[in-house]
């Protein structure tokens, strides 16, 4: 089964095509332009380069967030009509799940994805070795998140939030290590999508919605 994976939730506009969980090809761009300008050309180029059409795609994977509010809306609004017209399912893979998929851990370890949300705020997700979340996702001040993580031993951190707050994490927590692969990518997203496919954890165009763990800056300022 061929999977078209799309991630516009970060500064990188990333698309990939996978055969099950094996990468066929990818396109990524981070040139400062808006994802609305880049996404469709990147998809079109990727399909043409691999002599594929959308009709050959069996599953669409997309990141609904958390992350850039504008980027999330672009990805969601692009994927929904694709899925409806092609009559195929969507794998909704959060950015926290996608990041966790960059990491492998043992039975006695947990994976913690941390995404910087600015102003000392982070998005956090805690996962077991099979990439299933151990608790609800968190959007909070990094200091509060650290306090919540003290109940876990042997943590592997991944994501730009772990890079930004590395010194704090080292000073407050024991038995922690850091991933070298901290980039959000449609490749990891696609691999997680295949897992969701096998677990029958999919949605259709109507039920695919953004995942917002906190209000946008404009909404916070308005309040």
User: By three-state DSSP, how is residue 185 classified?
Assistant: coil
Burial (CB count <10 Å: 0-12, 13-18, 19+), residue 86: middle
Q: Could you report the per-residue pLDDT of 98-115, keeping only the tens digit for each?
A: 999 999 999 999 999 999
% of the chain at pLDDT higher than 70: 95
**Which whole number is the average pLDDT over 123-146?**
98
Q: In 108-185, which ranges are continuous DSSP H helix?
A: 142-149, 160-164, 166-172
Tell me the per-residue pLDDT of 4-48, one tens digit each, with 9 for 90 and over. 999 999 999 999 999 999 999 999 998 766 899 999 999 999 999
What is the percent of the chain where pLDDT is above 90? 92
| Res 220 pLDDT > 60 | no
What residue spans in the chain does CATH classification 3.30.420.40 cover? 2-94+184-222, 103-178
Q: Which CATH class name applies to 103-178? A: alpha beta
For residue 7, give every residue at least 6 positions away whose Cβ sits within 8 Å of its Cβ, in sequence order, or none: 13, 14, 15, 62, 63, 75, 95, 98, 184, 185, 186, 189
Beta bridge partners of 16: 5, 26
Left (φ > 0), alpha (ψ -120 to 50) or beta: where does 183 sit? beta
Q: What is the mean predicted confidence (pLDDT) over 106-129?
A: 97
Q: What's the pLDDT tens digit per position in 48-97?
A: 999 999 999 999 999 999 999 999 999 999 999 999 999 999 999 999 99
Class of domain 2-94+184-222: alpha beta
Residue 37, helix vs strand vs coil: helix
Number of DSSP helices (H) and strands (E) in the chain, helices first: 8, 10
């Amino acid at each position: 089964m061929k999977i078209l994976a799309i991630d516009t939730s970060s500064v990188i506009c990333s698309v990939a095509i996978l055969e099950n969980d094996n990468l066929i090809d990818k396109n990524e761009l981070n040139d400062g332009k808006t994802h609305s300008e880049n996404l469709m050309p990147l998809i079109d180029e990727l399909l043409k380069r691999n002599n594929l059409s959308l009709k050959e795609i069996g599953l669409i994977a997309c990141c609904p967030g958390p992350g850039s509010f504008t980027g999330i809306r672009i990805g969601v609004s692009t994927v929904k009509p694709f899925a409806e017209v092609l009559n195929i399912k969507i794998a909704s893979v959060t950015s926290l799940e996608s990041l966790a998929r960059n990491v492998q851990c043992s039975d006695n370890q947990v994976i913690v994805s941390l995404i910087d949300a600015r102003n000392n705020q982070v998005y956090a997700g805690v996962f077991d070795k099979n990439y299933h979340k151990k608790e609800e996702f968190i959007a909070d001040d990094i200091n509060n998140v650290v306090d919540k993580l003290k109940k876990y031993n042997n943590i592997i951190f991944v994501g730009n939030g772990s890079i930004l707050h590395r010194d704090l994490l080292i000073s407050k927590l024991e038995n922690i290590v850091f991933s070298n692969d901290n980039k959000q990518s449609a490749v990891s997203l696609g691999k997680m999508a295949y897992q969701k496919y096998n677990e029958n954890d999919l949605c259709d165009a109507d039920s695919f919605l953004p995942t917002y763990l906190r209000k946008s800056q404009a909404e916070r300022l308005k309040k």
